[in-house]
Amino acid sequence: MAKSYDVAGLRDVFPSSKKITYLDSGFQAPMCVPVKEKLEQFIASSFEDAGPKSGWIDEMEETRRKLASFINASPEEIAFTKNTSEAMNIAANALGLKEGDEVLMLEGDHPNNAYAFMNLAQNGVSTRFVPMPERVDGAYVAQYVQDNTKAISMSLVTFHAGHLFDVASVGRLCRERGIHFVVDVMQGIGVTPVDVKAIGATFVGSGTHKGLLVPQGLGFLYWNREFADAKPAYMAAITVENPPADFIARHDNMALAATARRFEIGNFNLPGAMALGAALDLINEVGVHEIEAHCYDLGDRLIAGLDKLGVKLVGPRDRKARAPHIYVAALPADEWVPFLERMNVRVSPERDGIRISLGMFSDAADIDRFLKVADEKLASIAA
Ligand SMILES: Cc1ncc(COP(=O)(O)O)c(C=O)c1O
């Protein structure tokens, strides 16, 4: 039976949604009650009882299990990172790419994904940007693959226009051709269902401060352990299979952990990981498919409204090609972002307009308020 979508109830869980017309979840999530309570619990236990570090670590491991199940992975395949950039850099350096190898990427994709690979130039690895059309799938990418193409890296959802790419078919192409595939799911996860087995990548990385609802400073990296040769560029005690109990590093104890722990470096963002556990409980309670469907419906309403105003949508319109929650309206950002801010409507400047991005708590009234404010401004410009 389909769950009913209680958006009014969710607005109580995201109180700022009742004060601001918040259309900027693609920038960062406003804090929700369960995340705030979890962070307060962390602060209280640290402040009042000097904190049970082992208990916090247990909670982090519980979050690792929840996150793994959320993306159809096993906990052994998940490393916690600082953010997407760190996840992408770990991945780029773990693939064993050599001088003369090439990495394919999409022109204009997120720089935090691209630079990680561009930096491999110091090892003689080249990167090539291929044009980004509205739809990217395996057949499209195949035409650019050369003999020396050893990896492809791309985003699931683009931040600047809301494309939703068919990463599963690119993953199939990569498996057929023996090419590594790395996917940045930062802009999609939490709203678009992510199934790492269906994607079939070597690595999938993300931060957690958008659809996963926690403050900045936590990310993760999924590692497909079939690619057992993948090795970290850095080491720490936790990276090895048997971290020395006496805290003395020895040359005969450098065997890497068999799990994704081999990619983790030093102490963790424990409050972030604990908050992520609470956020995942909320997302699972609402249902990621329900969040996706809700955002698609709001997106349809927004597109119809923009059409009526004669404002062009940048990026795909079709549900098959667009993400549920990211829409760019071709309105000059320099003028419109500050204007909307004054009207208590929060959006982001984007390269071709203003980005309206939705979260699980967004509602039809948010869309209608944006459209009404935009209509009034357009009318005043025309007058
Ligand atoms: C596709 C994508 N990748 C990465 C990032 C951010 O990278 P990081 O988590 O390293 O700050 C963003 C947005 O902030 C994004 O939209």
Q: What is the overall mean pLDDT for the chain?
A: 97
Task: Report residue 182 as tokens.
Answer: 């790395």
* Ligand 1 centroid distance, CA of 375 (Å): 32
CA of 85 to the centre of ligand 1 (A): 7
Question: What's the pLDDT at 3?
Answer: 63
For a ligand 1 pocket test, name from 25, 84, 182, 328 the mutation site with the most ligand atoms within 8 angstroms of its C-beta: 84
Task: Name the pLDDT band for 4 (thresholds 50, 70, 90).
Answer: confident
Q: Is residue 28 part of a domain?
A: no
- Examine the fold and report which residue of 264, 283, 302 is the final residue of a domain before the chain moves on: 283
Do 91 and 218 fall into the same domain? Answer: yes
Q: What is the mean pLDDT of residues 170-175?
A: 98
% pLDDT > 70, the chain: 99
Runs of H (alpha helix) within 4-137: 7-13, 33-49, 53-70, 84-94, 111-118
Residue 22: C-alpha distances to residues 215, 361, 362 (Å): 16, 9, 8
The CA 147 to ligand 1 mean position distance, Å, reads 30
pLDDT tens sequence across 94-127: 999 999 999 999 999 999 999 999 999 999 999 9
* Statement to judge: residues 328 and 255 lie in one domain: no
Partners of 22 in beta bridges: 346
Residue 140 has pLDDT above 50, yes or no: yes
Query: What pLDDT score was predicted for residue 364?
Result: 98
With respect to residue 97, please indicate whether it lies within any of the assigned structural domains.
yes
Contact 3, 9 (CB under 8 A): no
Q: Are 211 and 224 in a shared domain?
A: yes
Mean pLDDT across the stretch 130-150?
98
Q: Which tokens is 11 given?
A: 């607005």
What number is the average pLDDT over the span 234-260? 96
Q: Mutate which of 184, 185, 212, 326 to test ligand 1's pocket (most atoms within 8 Å of Cβ)?
A: 184
Which of these, 316, 329, 325, lies nearest to 360 by C-alpha position?
A: 325
User: At which of 283, 308, 328 does a domain end?
Assistant: 283
Nearest residue (by CA) to ligand 1, atom 7, is: 84
Quick check: is 198 in a domain?
A: yes
CA nearest ligand 1 atom 14, residue: 27
Residues 11, 129, single domain; the answer is no
Q: Would the pLDDT of 380 be above 50?
A: yes
Q: Are residues 17 and 49 in the same domain?
A: no
Please determine, for residue 1, whether its predicted confidence score (pLDDT) is greater than 70.
no
Residues 323, 316: Cα–Cα separation, whole Å: 9
CA distance 273 to 80: 8
Q: What is the CATH number of the domain that holds 303?
A: 3.90.1150.10
pLDDT at 203 over 50: yes
Q: Residues 45, 90: one domain? A: yes
User: With bands split at pLDDT 50, 70 and 90, how would you rate the model's confidence at 51?
Assistant: confident
Assess whether 260 and 362 both reside in one domain.
no
Contact status, residue 339 vs residue 320, Cβ threshold 8 Å: no
User: Which residues line the pocket of ligand 1, CB cutoff 6 A?
Assistant: 83-85, 110, 112-113, 155, 159, 184, 186-187, 207, 219
Euclidean distance between CA atoms 190 and 325, whole angstroms: 11
Both tokens of residue 123?
Answer: 């090892």
Task: Looking at the structure, tell me whether residues 259 and 353 fall in a common domain.
Answer: no
Q: Tell me whether residue 144 is in a domain.
A: yes
Looking at the fold, whether 234 and 276 belong to one and the same domain comes out as yes
**Ligand 1 center from residue 357 Cα (angstroms):** 15
Q: How many whole angstroms from 306 Cα to the centroid of ligand 1? A: 27
E strands, 240-352, are 313-314, 326-329, 345-346, 348-350
Mean pLDDT of 354-381: 97
- Per-residue model confidence (pLDDT) at position 96: 97
Task: Say how many domains are in the chain.
Answer: 2
- Tell me if 65 is assigned to some domain: yes
Residue 195 to residue 207: CA distance in whole angstroms: 16
Token look-up 């130039």 returns: 121
What's the gap in Å between 186 CA and the centre of ligand 1?
A: 6
pLDDT for 41 equals 97
The whole domain housing 56 covers: 36-283
Q: Are residues 190 and 222 in the same domain?
A: yes
Same domain, 368 and 230: no
- For residues 254-259, give the mean pLDDT: 98
Task: Please report the atom of ligand 1 found closest to the CA of residue 87.
Answer: 10
CATH of the domain at 261: 3.40.640.10
Structural contact between residues 138 and 200, judged by C-beta atoms closer than 8 angstroms: no
